[in-house]
Amino acid sequence: MDRTLSDIKREFSTASTAGCILGFLGLTIIAATQLTALMPLLFAPTVCGTLGILLYKSQISKKQVNIITRTKPNANQASMVLGKI
């Protein structure tokens, strides 16, 4: 039990905690400076992607709908269909 507690105390020492905080701070600073340098390169793909999505979403679906009407043809229509005129 004492050995387990000593391992935990060693793991969470002040120096390691401060090192992690400084490391994350350094990574954040590097990422922020690189992001500002690369931001103009991200503008065109963002605009094109947004416009492409808007164009895709604005398209009307072109499904064909078959409409079947069931009416009785009169004599003229029946003769036209059969080719008797």
**CA separation for the pair 6, 13 (Å, rounded):** 11
| Angle 76-78-83 from CA coordinates, rounded to 5° | 95
Q: How confident is the model at residue 72, as a pLDDT?
A: 66
Tell me the per-residue pLDDT of 16-73, one tens digit each, with 9 for 90 and over: 888 889 999 998 888 888 877 877 888 899 999 999 999 998 887 777 667 776 666 5
Stated as kind and residue range, the H or E segment containing 62 is none
Tell me the per-residue pLDDT of 13-30, one tens digit each, with 9 for 90 and over: 777 888 889 999 998 888
Report yes or no: 85 and 79 within 8 Å, Cβ to Cβ. Answer: yes
Q: How confident is the model at residue 31, as a pLDDT?
A: 84
pTM: 0.35
